[in-house]
């Protein structure tokens, strides 16, 4: 019998739980994504906003290094535990400012830069 699902404090915890499984397998990646979607439904206002969560999962040639990158600003923010109140308003944006911190997304390399405002 299965117990209650483990409470997660962030999406990165979900990936940590699945770290010992073979994340190269599409079925495992699908399970991880479903857990992420379920986690996000509790964090966002509009149920359709979770469709903005698009990530890229890649391994290096040796298969030892896993890279998880957000494919847009909102996905990158969610990966680091930042949950804007209205994510749909950011779907076409490359920047987000909150609590004197600027988050800048680069779509070319899928990197998120975080800068403290002076």
| DSSP track, 24-47 | TSHHHHHHHHHHHHHHHHHH-SSG
Tokens standing for residue 42 = 């509790």
Tens-digit pLDDT profile for residues 15-52 = 888 877 777 788 888 888 888 888 888 788 787 887 88
What pLDDT score does 2 carry?
Answer: 46
pLDDT given at position 63: 67
Q: Is the entire prediction scored with pTM above 0.85?
A: no
Q: What distance in Å separates the CA atoms of residue 113 and residue 77, rounded to the nearest whole number?
A: 10
Domain boundary assignment for the chain: 11-116
| 1 pLDDT more than 60 | no
In DSSP terms, 56 is beta-bridged to 69
User: What is the per-residue pLDDT for 79?
Assistant: 92
- The C-alpha atoms of residue 118 and residue 105 are separated, in whole angstroms, by 20
Residue 104: per-residue pLDDT: 97
Rounded Cα distance between 57 and 69, Å, is 7
For residues 37 and 2, is the Cβ–Cβ distance under 8 A? Answer: no
């Amino acid at each position: 019998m299965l117990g209650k699902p483990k409470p997660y404090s962030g999406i990165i915890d979900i990936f940590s739980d699945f770290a010992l499984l073979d994340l190269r397998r599409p079925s495992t990646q699908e399970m991880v994504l479903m857990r992420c979607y379920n986690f996000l439904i509790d964090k966002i206002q509009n149920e359709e906003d979770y469709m903005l969560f698009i990530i890229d999962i890649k391994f290096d040639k040796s298969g030892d290094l896993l890279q998880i990158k957000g494919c847009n600003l909102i996905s990158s923010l969610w990966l680091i535990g930042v949950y804007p109140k209205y994510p749909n308003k950011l779907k076409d944006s490359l920047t987000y400012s909150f609590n004197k911190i600027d988050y800048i997304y680069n779509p070319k390399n899928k990197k998120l830069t975080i800068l403290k405002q002076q």
